[in-house]
Structures are given as C-alpha cells and as structure tokens.
Amino acid sequence: MTVRPYDVLFEQALTRVDPERIHHAAFRAIRAAAPVTTRAVRVPSAPVHALGLTFPHPLGLAAGFDKNAVGIDGLAALGFGHVEIGTVTGEGQPGNPQPRLFRLTDDRAIVNRMGFNNDGAEVVARRLAAWRAGGGSTILGVNIGKTKVVPEDEAARDYEKSAGLLAPFADYLVVNVSSPNTPGLRDLQAVEKLEPILTAVRRRADEARPDHRVPLLVKIAPDLSDDDVLAVADLALATGLDGVIATNTTISRDGLASPVSRVEQVGAGGLSGRPLTLRSEDVVRLLRNRVGPGLALVGVGGITTVDDARRRLAAGADLLQGYTAFVYEGPLWPRRIVRGLATDG
C-alpha cells in the first residue's frame, strides 16, 4: 500500500491538533493557494446534466466546509465541480460551545455538533453578491437551515427569509432539515411539517428570482426509516421539488471500530464518513426506485474511494458530494475521484 505524504502529515501532526483549529488553518491555506491551484492542469472529466445545469463532473463539496461563502473559488480549484455553502440560517449565530468537532480515526469518521455556526443570511448574501460581481462562476449550492432560537412553528418564516436573500446568487437551494445539532430540526422531516416549509421557500425563491427558477432540493438524514424515506420521495414529487440530497450525518454509533470509551468521550453529534457508506447508498437506491428518472439525487455520505463513487452512481445518484474523505485523504482527493470516474467513460 502506497503511503502518501498527506497520510504522514495527517497521522503525525494533524491528529495532534484540535480539529476545528486545523479546519480553519487548512481553509486559510486553500484560499491563499487559489491563484496557484486554479492554474493546475485540469483532470479529464465527463459533464453531468442535472437540475437544469451542466456540471463539469459529478463530484462536489458538501455543505459544512465553507459555511460563510469565503472560499468558493479556492475549493473549486482543488477539483470540486460544484461547491455547496452553508448551512446558512436566517440570523447569524455562534453555534454550540467548543469543543464541537472530533475525529474517530479508527473509523475514518468525524463527529460534529457545530450547531449551524454562521454569519447569517444577510451577511452571506452580501458576500455572494460581491463574489458574483467579481466573476464567480463555480456552480454554487446554498444550504439553508433554521435559526436555533426560532420556534418550530415559525420555521417556515425563517427558511423563507434565507431563501429570499440567497436565491439571487444560488445555482440551487437546499432545505436542510436533517442536522442533529439544532434541537427539534429533524422533526421537520415529517411530511406534514416539511411541506409548508418547502412551499414557502419555493414561493419566496420565485419572488426573488422572477426571471429564473432556482432548483430546490431537500437534504435528509440516514436515520429515517425506509417508509419515511419513501414518504419524503412522494412529497418531493407532489410538491415539484427538483431533487433530494441523501444523506446528512447520523446519530447512530452502531458497528464502529473505535473503542467504546473514545466514542463516549466524544459524545453527541452527527457522525460522517465511512460508517455511513452502506446506509447512504441504500437511501439513494430507495429514492431512485420511488421517484423514477426525473428527480435529481445527490449522493453523499461515506464516499471515499473511486469504487464508492461508482457504486453510489450505480445506485441512482446523479451527483456526488464529499466532506469527511476530503479531510482524511487531503487536497488531492477530489482530483483522484474525478480522474477515476473519467476512466469509466
């Protein structure tokens, strides 16, 4: 097995530093390197037509890495064909107390309880306006969530506010009702609660972009039962959604290789990475079998290798996203996946 320089750096140095500090330092380096990485030789790839858009290839960066839209171009220059920012909430908020980001290296997994820390929709909208005015052209998804202090019965209003501010700059919008780190948020995945939110966001996005229909997707959790996954699929068809992102992080800790003591020490939060691979793949397959070919599906969760990516596409995903593998595998990871998928053509 080949040992890459990044593997040595990760094991010998990065694992010794608080993950959130490393994230911020790495992200600063990515932004600083953008002028160089942008000029890197492009990896051959096959375009993907989905959501009424033409993506350069299937692989994008999942929401959570760039919460505040500060490094879109630098991330795209590493090889991601699209970048999803956020989660952005109607009001800015600091998120949960630190520490709130943890590694389970034995499982190549991450646990986070960040709590939607972000600058808020108004600030991010101004940032995106400047980015677009400066020529920003990366395919951009904007992931929106509920502000923590907003009561559940006012959730639609909060999502609506974000949609109105951010739709003018988004290539697609995502309603996130599946993070485990905002109290009560996952309850909004129930069809009777989700439908009015999606309806309100659709209406407000159309008002904000009367000349262009911004595709709207919903992001769901892997912890939904199969019946609930199918109910969301039916709702997506009934309400005219453009797609579903499957899946977010899990609250399950079943089958982990990490010592029980370490898992208990880390505590609550959403788990991402390799442990999600099989369930996320199953959810994509369930969705595709239910919705047919017309709805776009984005597969995310536990995609680490080219074979993982191939299987997710075979299960029915049109597009793919990664996050945790990017952390564990390093900045060359997206190009490796894209190059591997290109050989399948």
User: Which two tokens mark 59?
Assistant: 């692989």
- pLDDT for the residue 34: 85
pLDDT on residue 225: 95
Strand, helix or coil for residue 320: strand
pTM: 0.96
Nearby residues of 115 by Cβ (< 8 Å), 6 or more positions away: 93, 95, 96, 100, 148, 181, 182
Helix and strand totals (H; E) in the chain: 12, 13
pLDDT values of the chain reduced to their tens digit, one per residue, 345 residues: 566 777 766 676 667 789 999 999 999 999 998 888 877 767 778 899 999 999 999 999 999 999 999 999 999 999 999 999 999 999 999 999 999 999 999 999 999 999 999 999 999 999 999 999 999 999 999 999 999 999 999 999 999 999 999 999 999 999 999 998 898 989 989 889 999 999 999 999 999 999 999 999 999 999 999 999 999 999 999 999 999 999 999 999 999 999 999 999 999 999 999 999 999 999 999 999 999 999 999 999 999 999 999 999 999 999 999 999 999 999 999 999 999 999 875
Predicted local confidence at residue 3, as pLDDT: 66
Instruction: Collapse the DSSP code of 232 into the 3-class scheme (helix H, G, I; strand E, B; otherwise coil) and give the result.
Output: helix
> Which single residue is written with the structure tokens 């943890």?
102
Instruction: State the pLDDT at residue 8.
Output: 65
Residue 45's pLDDT is 84
Binding residue numbers for FMN? 63-67, 87, 143, 176, 219, 247, 273, 302, 323-324
Catalytic residues: 179
Total of domains in the chain: 1
Tell me which residue range forms the domain holding 192.
5-342
CATH assignment of the domain containing 47 = 3.20.20.70
The residues near 128 (Cβ < 8 Å, ≥ 6 apart) are 69, 136, 140, 142, 166, 169, 170
